[in-house]
């Protein structure tokens, strides 16, 4: 069969499938930090350990690949997935001989499952996609996916926003010109907010039905600061924070997720030591003292995306958890600054993001109207749904959330 006949056949099939979800707002899933599969191809001249491969015949899954996240082998993973910052171009690059790509653009599979083998430990948007299928949605037709390189912030993801606009329009047209719901998790909500601010209001009125947000760190999180200080073990009992930190601190997205000046007061102490108490105004000194000069440069590059908190100009559903111990401040014992592990003073949140950041979307709901940098908009509904004990990642599989998503998405 010729390629033309195949194309027509696929269009016919997609047309039939689209009829099955007629009237339902098609969904594009936008993941958070760590929520997209990543593939790598190697052609290196040197490696950090003799057990590390220098070359690979083809691309292989590097995130999430549990076989690479084990002691000793993790050193190879860190060296392959780290970024190198250039403070002249203000951009990052992969190490020489490493090519990293994001597979599966437009399809939900790489954001439903971070592990291509569908190991349960790599389950991400799959429960939500299953819930949507039960009410009439069809994968790859009315459920789409928008994966991206989550290591980078908006300043290095310009191509993603261009592709996302095209994906929204294609999904709209494929589904009988039905406006699209952006269903987002964590940092994906911040990416979506930036994307929507880039679009004219007329375009949003035509193509976007709603933004359905789960656990978005609208104002950043102290946990990002904790990761810069000591790393994050990703919930594993066998991985050391300090080892993973070597990769994590190279990511501009981590600098973007630092607490925002809009939601942390200048006098609030974020890092307490016997020598100095660091506030939101002391991040340059903090990163200098930590010997992380690139972290401050990346903060300067990305802070521009956190200074405007105007509403997105679409209907918003803001679902988040609370009543879970969440790091609020780092407290170092006398004499332990830069060497020891700090006490993680806790406050309210979802275990990852602080409550004030998760609930920031409620500021939009309190306003009679709101203004963007370009125009004054009419009211857009903002629905906040705080859920007790809904953990940051587990919220994706929480029955309360699945029910809420299904209820909202049944509406035209």
Catalytic center residues: 186, 350, 392
Which segments within 309-409 are labelled E, that is strand? 316-322, 326-331, 343-347, 370-371, 376-377, 382-388
Helix (H) or strand (E) holding 169: helix 158-174
Q: Which residues, in sequence order, are CB contacts of 388 under 8 Å at separation 6+?
A: 321, 322, 323
- CA geometry: angle at 223 spanning 118 and 288, to 5°? 125
Q: Which residues, in sequence order, are CB contacts of 339 under 8 Å at separation 6+?
A: none
- Structural contact between residues 198 and 302, judged by C-beta atoms closer than 8 angstroms: no
Q: Which residues, in sequence order, are CB contacts of 48 under 8 Å at separation 6+?
A: 75, 76, 79
> Cα separation of 234 and 248, whole Å?
11
Q: Please name which of 207, 170, 181 lies closest in space to residue 11, comparing C-alpha atoms.
A: 170
Exposed, middle or buried, 392 (CB in 10 Å: 0-12/13-18/19+)? buried
Which structure tokens are listed for 77? 């993973």
Q: With the C-alpha atoms ordered 391, 392, 396, 400, is the resulting torsion angle positive or negative? A: positive
The string of DSSP codes covering 227-260 is HHHH---TT-SSS-HHHHHHHHTT-HHHHHTSPP
- Structural contact between residues 208 and 182, judged by C-beta atoms closer than 8 angstroms: yes
Q: Kindly report the backbone phi and psi dihedral angles of residue 369, in degrees, each rounded to the nearest multiple of 5, phi listed first.
A: -150, 170
- Residue pointed to by tokens 């940051």: 392
> Residue 199: is the preceding peptide bond cis (ω within 30°)?
no
Q: Which residues, in sequence order, are CB contacts of 377 under 8 Å at separation 6+?
A: 201, 311, 313, 369, 370, 371
- Structural contact between residues 136 and 21, judged by C-beta atoms closer than 8 angstroms: yes
């Amino acid at each position: 069969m010729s390629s033309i006949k195949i194309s027509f056949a696929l269009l016919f099939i997609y047309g039939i499938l689209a009829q099955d979800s007629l009237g339902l707002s098609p969904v594009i899933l936008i993941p958070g930090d760590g929520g997209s599969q990543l593939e790598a191809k190697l052609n290196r001249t040197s490696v950090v350990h003799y057990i590390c491969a220098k070359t690979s015949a083809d691309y292989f899954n590097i995130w999430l690949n549990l076989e690479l996240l084990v002691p000793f082998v993790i050193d190879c993973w860190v060296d392959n997935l780290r970024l190198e910052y250039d403070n002249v171009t203000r951009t990052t690059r992969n190490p020489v001989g490493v090519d990293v790509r994001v597979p599966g653009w437009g399809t939900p599979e790489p954001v439903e499952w971070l592990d291509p083998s569908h190991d349960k430990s790599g389950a991400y948007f799959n429960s939500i996609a299953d819930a949507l299928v039960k009410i009439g949605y069809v994968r790859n037709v009315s459920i789409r996916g928008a994966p991206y390189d989550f290591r980078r912030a908006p300043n290095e993801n310009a191509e993603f926003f261009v592709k996302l606009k095209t994906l929204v329009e294609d999904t709209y047209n494929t589904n009988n010109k039905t406006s699209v719901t952006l269903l987002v998790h964590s940092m994906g909500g911040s990416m979506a907010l930036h994307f929507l601010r880039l679009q004219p209001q007329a375009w949003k009125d035509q193509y976007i039905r709603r933004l359905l947000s789960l656990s978005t760190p609208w104002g950043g999180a102290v946990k990002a600061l904790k990761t810069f200080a000591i790393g994050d073990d990703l919930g594993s009992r066998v991985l050391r924070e300090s080892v993973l930190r070597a990769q994590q601190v190279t990511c501009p997205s981590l600098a973007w997720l630092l607490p925002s000046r809009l939601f942390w007061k200048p006098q609030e102490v974020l890092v307490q030591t016997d020598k100095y108490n660091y506030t939101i105004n002391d991040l340059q000194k903090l990163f200098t003292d930590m010997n992380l000069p690139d972290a401050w440069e990346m903060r300067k590059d990305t802070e521009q995306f956190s200074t405007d908190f105007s509403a997105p100009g679409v209907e918003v559903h803001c679902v988040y958890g609370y009543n879970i111990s969440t790091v609020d401040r780092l407290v170092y014992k006398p004499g332990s600054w830069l060497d020891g592990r700090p006490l993680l003073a806790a406050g309210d949140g979802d275990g990852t993001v602080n409550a004030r950041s998760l609930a920031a979307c409620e500021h939009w709901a309190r306003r009679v109207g709101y203004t963007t940098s370009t125009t004054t908009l009419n009211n857009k509904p903002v629905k906040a749904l705080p859920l007790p004990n809904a953990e940051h990642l587990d919220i994706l599989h929480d029955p309360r959330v699945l029910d809420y998503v299904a209820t909202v998405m049944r509406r035209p």
